[in-house]
Every structure is written in C-alpha cells, then in structure tokens.
Amino acid sequence: MPTANTALLTGASAGIGAVYADRLARRGHDLILVARDETRLNALAARLRAETGRVVEVLPADLASRPDLLRVEQRLRQDASIGMLLNNAGIAVAGPMQGSDVDRLEAMVDINITAALRLAHTAVANFMARGAGTLINVSSVLALAPERFGAVYSGSKAFLLNLSLSLHTELAGFGIRVQAVLPGATRTELWGKAGIDMAAMPADRLMDAGEMVDAALAGLDLGEVVTIPSLPDRADWVRFDDARLALGPNLSLARAAARYRATGDAA
Ligand SMILES: NC(=O)c1ccc[n+]([C@@H]2O[C@H](COP(=O)([O-])OP(=O)(O)OC[C@H]3O[C@@H](n4cnc5c(N)ncnc54)[C@H](OP(=O)(O)O)[C@@H]3O)[C@@H](O)[C@H]2O)c1
C-alpha cells in the first residue's frame, strides 16, 4: 500500500485554506487543492512546487454543485495516497435570517455542511480500510457563540463541531485523527464577501491567517480534538466540555422533571 502522504484541501485558493496548503507542503505533504478559482489554485500550486518540491495538483470544483462534489468524492475514493482531508471551504452569510436570501442560505448549507459531510464520509471509509488518516474540519468559535453572527452560519459551524466530536468517539480504535478547528475572527477575504468591512473591526480581535493555521497545526500535534487558537487558557474549554458531559446522566430519563409534572403527581 502506498504511503498516504497526500492532503486534499478544500477552499485552498484563498485565506485559511491557502495558508494550510503552504504549511502542509512545508511539513512534507503532497497536496490536492480544491476550490472554484482555477487561476489562483494554479498560482499557489506553482509557488509551492517551486518552494517545497512537493507534488501539488489542482482540482477545480464548485462544492455547491453536485456533479463537481461527486468528482471530488470520486478522487477521494480512488486515490489511496490521500491520508488527510481538510474540510475548510466555506462561505458566511451575515445578518438576520429573515433579512437574508434563502437561496444564499441554502448554498451556505450546501458548502459548509453537505459538501463537508460527503467528503468526510468518503475519506473516512478509506482511512478506516487503511487504519490511518486525519480529518480536519474548520468550524468556528461561532459554534459556541450563536448569538454573535448569522443563525445559519453559526448553525453550520456547530454541525462541524458536533460532527467532529462524535466522529472522534466513533472512530476511536481505527487509527484516525479527527480535529475541529474553531477560529475566531481571522483576517481573510471572507469578511468582505459577507459585506463586512474588516477595517472597522478592532485589530486586537482579528488574527492573521498564518498565526491561526500555525496554532491549529500545533493543536493537531498536541493531539487536540478541539482547537480554539485564541483561547488563552485551555482549562476554560475543558470546564465547558465537562459541564456538557455532566448533563449526560439526566438527558434521557423515563420520567419528565418534577417541574413539568402536574402538581400532586408524586408517582
Ligand atoms: N475568516 C474568519 O474570520 C473565519 C473564522 C472562523 C471560521 N472561518 C472558516 O474558515 C474557512 C475558510 O474561510 P476563509 O476565512 O479562509 O475565507 P476565504 O478567504 O473567503 O476563503 C474561502 C475559501 O473557500 C472556497 N470556496 C467558497 N465557496 C466555494 C465553493 N462553492 N466551492 C468550492 N470552494 C469554495 C474559496 O475558493 P473559491 O472562491 O475559489 O471557490 C476559498 O478558497 C471557512 O469555512 C470559514 O467559515 C473563517
């Protein structure tokens, strides 16, 4: 069986995905770069080939288009050299749900959720057969702070967080790493595309994409399942997660809680 040294990255033409491409090539991975903008993908691929000597291929695809998505899935299914999937492609629709075009919201679900799910499903099948592989899902801190941004965007990112937490448990014992990365506001084109002026945001709240990705990869090296690049004290996340887990024994019981039962129902 060939060494599974290739990483397939979605959303590699810009921002966080382009930085991951750079860092993963420098870590010795060959790359398959997926996004719509073929010109930008080719320019990045040429630079990385020249600077790192790695094999870098471009696979242009619109992940909101089913035929394109199926082509990327097919590549994941057929290429035994792929040992890492970075589910990074995403769009953000800002503002209240009711003020947003529902077709645009649906496209966001198609890219942020459906494409990520289908690609993870295909990649993990191969990883399980091989007993090794790494799945990285780029979520967002908005998975934990849904009140701060568009409802559907934060919902899509919560999907990726829960998917990652659940898969981490489901795949324990198969030699597969699963990591959810929860960036805070990061300096990329995403904001402008969402109609938000990054210059108006407080600079001390915006991280450079390079620093974000380096932190995320450091988190991967540390064996983290959830990496929040800006969180100063890891214990804050552990406490949050422990509180969630502590609900466990009482989340599903035969009887409703006493406060929901008619007064006098003591049975
Ligand atoms: N920037 C932030 O503050 C921030 C914070 C938390 C999480 N994130 C997440 O980080 C990820 C990367 O975002 P970014 O900030 O790097 O944004 P970005 O600079 O806008 O890059 C988005 C990438 O996704 C690709 N993409 C968008 N629609 C696509 C489609 N239909 N098919 C294929 N590729 C598509 C874009 O390429 P093409 O246009 O060439 O297709 C681009 O490569 C996203 O999942 C985002 O939700 C970002």
Confidence of residue 266 (pLDDT cuts 50, 70, 90): low
260 is catalytic: no
Which whole number is the average pLDDT over 97-108? 96
pLDDT digits (tens, 9 = 90+) for 107-163: 999 999 999 999 999 999 999 999 999 999 999 999 999 999 999 999 999 999 999
Residue 183 inside a domain? The answer is yes
State whether the beta carbon of 229 lies less than 6 angstroms from ligand 1.
no
- Domain assignment present for 250: no
Whether 265 is covered by a domain: the verdict is no
Ligand 1 neighbour 59 (Cβ under 6 A) = no
pLDDT at 2: 55
Asked if residue 261 belongs to a domain, the reply is no
Atom 41 in ligand 1: residue holding the nearest Cα: 36
| 65: in domain | yes
Summarize the confidence of residues 40-57 as an average pLDDT.
98
Q: How far is the CA of 173 from the centre of ligand 1 (A)?
A: 32
pLDDT at 130: 95
**In this structure, is residue 180 part of a structural domain?**
yes
Domain count, the chain: 1
Res 1 pLDDT > 90:
no
Among residues 20, 127, 149, 153, the one annotated as catalytic is 153
Q: Is 189 in the pocket of ligand 1 (CB under 6 A)?
A: yes
Q: What is the mean pLDDT of the chain?
A: 96
Ligand 1 centroid – CA 222 distance (Å): 25
The answer to the question of residue 262 being in a domain is no
Q: Quick one: what percent of the chain has pLDDT higher than 70?
A: 98
State the average pLDDT over residues 86-93: 98
Structural domain includes residue 242: no
Range of the domain at 187: 6-235
Q: 211 pLDDT band (50/70/90 cuts)?
A: very high
> Percentage of residues in the chain with pLDDT exceeding 90?
96
pTM over 0.95: yes
Euclidean distance between the first and final Cα of the chain, in Å?
62
CATH number at residue 83: 3.40.50.720
Confidence (pLDDT) at 6: 98
